[in-house]
Structure 1
């Protein structure tokens, strides 16, 4: 298994003029990639960056972002991606934890970084603004020109055990944590992702994920491992995605559950199946959307499962069993455990636990947080915090987050399960379910619902629809209809940022309709 800089050199030698990256009419070959990475590496070294430095990046999807990221690996520095969606407070929160020596940003993020300055508690960080020579910058900001730098430098003699990146979790269940990852983590993850995606010679990888999510970089590493090109866009667009794919000739599409539902809820077009995608690979495909997506767009779904703390993919479903995340990859053992760590029988729901068979393929730990690290890494295993079960054939199934469960009407309720049901309603694009304090104790269920385009949903009709399909204790009491959700890098909904006040929520118990508290049956 080669390091990133060894892969760049290998592909430059074997296919120098083949495309590596396509973006808005710009094409970078493998030979040009090596030249640009070496050049930017030399520039960064001249500015004082060295191996082991933590260098934060807050940049949009752009070829320069890819080159800078690979240049950091070339000199042995540690990349720290900052979300391009966070504001001043969120920027300061992450930087105060990572304490990078450099922060490289795009010009349009200067105002937000300036806002964060008063909250940054450490000193010595240099802020470099990409291609901003014409901006009137004041210290600590300085321009970083990536053009016309002719110097070259030799790569740092990296090993697979080198700390490669610190990736911050989305913070959907608490404060973001910095997941420390080695090069071996990335190389192993990309190897298994390529197996899941069935990457072949001649394929073109469609890349839409923002680079503050690990999946985006896994696509880059796949391209370097397999010598295939990437077709990259700046951001995900449900309305433009298929046209972008057709224009780029992409044959392999990465999805996540949220993105899949967004695509599926777009108005049907006569050319939906007229696209070059052969395989859609990813995770969190809703069971109710699986076959519908395959049939409508004429693609094959390849589902897997992984988390930042363990691996990009710890399980692969190569057999196409609908609803399953598959079986453990060759580098892992996996089982289902109860709260005491006891292994459960087939069909019983508990925590998904994975155990690496080889060293160095899971996270090194959370950056500067040994207590949280010890909660996840125990006895040589990764306790994922995800719920699931295994069937008699050894296939695993996802059943929600342990921390995303509710207690309603004396029963435990999986928010994920309720969301899957609501999302299957023909007039619903997506939903998010949370618990709110109940005057009776425990929690009432509140559902935020985004209707499909151009559709108006009557609250009582949706409640009745849920009541016919859910247990009484799973049926929401409150409904909020929204135009969109706050989202993380993978289009996952950030529940912590949903409104707290119930002032404008539709309440079934205050709507003039009788509700049985025992059966939760709505009576008109």
Structure 2
């Protein structure tokens, strides 16, 4: 097994002039990638990063972003990707949790970052990707690169060493940072390559943001010596033209995107595409064959989670609707509410047991109690409901957790409620997931709101308040106003008893209001 910095070095030696990535008309070879990583490593050391330090990344897609991530590993530090859509409220939570020594960011996020910095206690240096006049404690990357020297040798570390902290909002409460090792990354990449049938002559189409999923594609290119064609963001209307421009052969999808792509009118480039496999998770079962037939490709479905693996299950046999069978590095079974194992055809919670501990996350950063809720007796209790059939194929059946899946992102109800409850005139709220037209694994967000006495409903004002503080995919679409909530003996809101009245709820989509998306 080779750790990530070894892969950077090996690819530069055996495939140096091969194209690693094409982006915005520029081609970067594996040799140029290694050189860039070594230069970025020097810049990180210049700003004070040491082995074991956390380094935050809040950057848009670019080759330099890849180099920075790999440079963090090169010098033995730990990467902490932050969503580029976070506003001050969400950023504050994650900065206080991860406590990075340095945060590298685009200046478009300056207001949110500076506001969040007023609420954190630990010292933090901010490095701006773009040059400009800086405040005290702030730097810009070009200046650090000019002042530093390239670091030619990487720091040796084991397969069990933490590589990154990946924040997830998959359950109630504040976001949690899953600590993922070099082994976790290597195994995840190996299985993603199997699922997508990676070959050295492949070109992977990369549209995902780097805080969510993109690193698997980068690592596939490093493991297999294949290429990446990267675009700045996903566009359903331009997808097939972009794929044709890059000569891409493999496409990654996330649930709702399948129906979004299918809803587009037919164009010439979709009929002449070179994509052989679309790989990913949560492909709607009723769109599966239509997607394959229209675009003349194979769907390769999988299932994974931050706590367990990029892919804990892979469907290599084309069983429509199935998330597949367990990977070789994991054992798994299904339990009922009493912890007893159940057989075929019965839905229950999925439990994973790694054959080597660091195949799964080592825990949530700085949160031993929340870690103990998920990692028990050497197993990962996923909180996800699944069922398996007589042939051992597993099927996703929902989530036990108080969370929603929107636009391919896990959204914590608690995190959204925290912001809504602080909005002017709001006394309390409950956030629920409701069905979406984008597929069975996608949801829209309904916020049920109780106002303070004497306050008149103003849904647009609440929406705008949320938009300023939450990522676009966290902003509710529906607002429903109630006089009170169903409550239990402790006065806790009983969400299961809330009746979602979408017919009479305020609908942002019908009102023509769309949350602003940071780019």
Q: Does 1:140 align with 2:130?
A: no
The match for 1:201 is: 200
The match for 1:519 is: none
Cα distance, 1:505 vs structure 2: 6.5
Distance 2:188 2:221 in 1: 13
Distance 2:112 2:68 in 1: 21
Point out where structure 2 has 5 or more consecutive residues left out of the alignment: 405-431, 451-466, 483-499, 506-519
Cα distance, 1:267 vs structure 2: 2.4
Cα distance, 1:200 vs structure 2: 1.3
- Corresponding residue SS for 1:330: coil
Q: Does 1:27 align with 2:27?
A: yes
Distance 2:281 2:449 in 1: 32
Distance 1:53 1:95 in 2: 13
Cα distance, 1:245 vs structure 2: 0.8
The match for 1:411 is: none
The match for 1:432 is: 444
Q: Does 1:316 align with 2:323?
A: no
Question: CA, structure 1 residues 184+227, in 2 after alignment: closer, same or farther (shift >3 Å)?
Answer: same
Asked whether the 8 Å contact 2:166–2:178 carries over to 1, the reply is yes
Cα distance, 1:178 vs structure 2: 0.5
Distance 1:129 1:30 in 2: 26
Question: CA, structure 1 residues 506+360, in 2 after alignment: closer, same or farther (shift >3 Å)?
Answer: closer
Asked whether the 8 Å contact 2:446–2:479 carries over to 1, the reply is no
Deviation digits for residues 116-173 of structure 1 (CA, Å, limit 9, x no counterpart): 2222232x211111131xx122112211117666633311012211111001014574
Q: Does 1:114 align with 2:114?
A: yes
Asked whether the 8 Å contact 2:92–2:120 carries over to 1, the reply is yes
Alignment of 1:282-321 (within 5 A): 282-321=280-319
The match for 1:90 is: 90
Asked whether the 8 Å contact 2:445–2:477 carries over to 1, the reply is no
Question: CA, structure 1 residues 140+435, in 2 after alignment: closer, same or farther (shift >3 Å)?
Answer: closer
Question: CA, structure 1 residues 115+20, in 2 after alignment: closer, same or farther (shift >3 Å)?
Answer: same
- Corresponding residue SS for 2:118: helix
Deviation digits for residues 28-50 of structure 1 (CA, Å, limit 9, x no counterpart): 11111111111111222122111
The match for 1:46 is: 46
Q: Does 1:224 align with 2:236?
A: no
Point out where structure 1 has 5 or more consecutive residues left out of the alignment: 407-414, 439-484, 510-524
Deviation digits for residues 384-437 of structure 1 (CA, Å, limit 9, x no counterpart): 11111000000000011112599xxxxxxxx99x847x5579xxx975376969
Asked whether the 8 Å contact 2:449–2:480 carries over to 1, the reply is no
Q: How many residues align?
A: 443
Distance 1:32 1:24 in 2: 16
Alignment of 1:38-437 (within 5 A): 38-122=38-122, 124-132=123-131, 135-145=132-142, 151-170=150-169, 173-213=172-212, 215-403=213-401, 419=435, 423=438, 432=444
The match for 2:463 is: none
Question: CA, structure 1 residues 270+224, in 2 after alignment: closer, same or farther (shift >3 Å)?
Answer: closer
Asked whether the 8 Å contact 1:388–1:397 carries over to 2, the reply is yes
Cα distance, 1:268 vs structure 2: 2.9
- Corresponding residue SS for 1:137: coil
The match for 2:480 is: 501
Distance 1:434 1:111 in 2: 28
- Corresponding residue SS for 1:36: helix
Distance 2:169 2:273 in 1: 32
- Corresponding residue SS for 1:507: coil
Distance 2:216 2:21 in 1: 14
Question: CA, structure 1 residues 405+306, in 2 after alignment: closer, same or farther (shift >3 Å)?
Answer: closer
Asked whether the 8 Å contact 2:260–2:438 carries over to 1, the reply is no
Deviation digits for residues 254-280 of structure 1 (CA, Å, limit 9, x no counterpart): 111022221112223354322111100
Distance 2:69 2:258 in 1: 28
- Corresponding residue SS for 1:179: strand
Cα distance, 1:309 vs structure 2: 0.2
Asked whether the 8 Å contact 2:244–2:269 carries over to 1, the reply is no
Distance 2:338 2:69 in 1: 42
Distance 2:364 2:57 in 1: 19
Distance 2:439 2:44 in 1: 50
Asked whether the 8 Å contact 2:446–2:478 carries over to 1, the reply is no
Question: CA, structure 1 residues 424+375, in 2 after alignment: closer, same or farther (shift >3 Å)?
Answer: closer
Cα distance, 1:92 vs structure 2: 1.2
Question: CA, structure 1 residues 274+89, in 2 after alignment: closer, same or farther (shift >3 Å)?
Answer: same
Cα distance, 1:202 vs structure 2: 0.8
Asked whether the 8 Å contact 2:204–2:251 carries over to 1, the reply is yes
- Corresponding residue SS for 1:373: helix
- Corresponding residue SS for 1:365: coil
Q: Scaled by the length of structure 1, what TM-score is found? A: 0.79
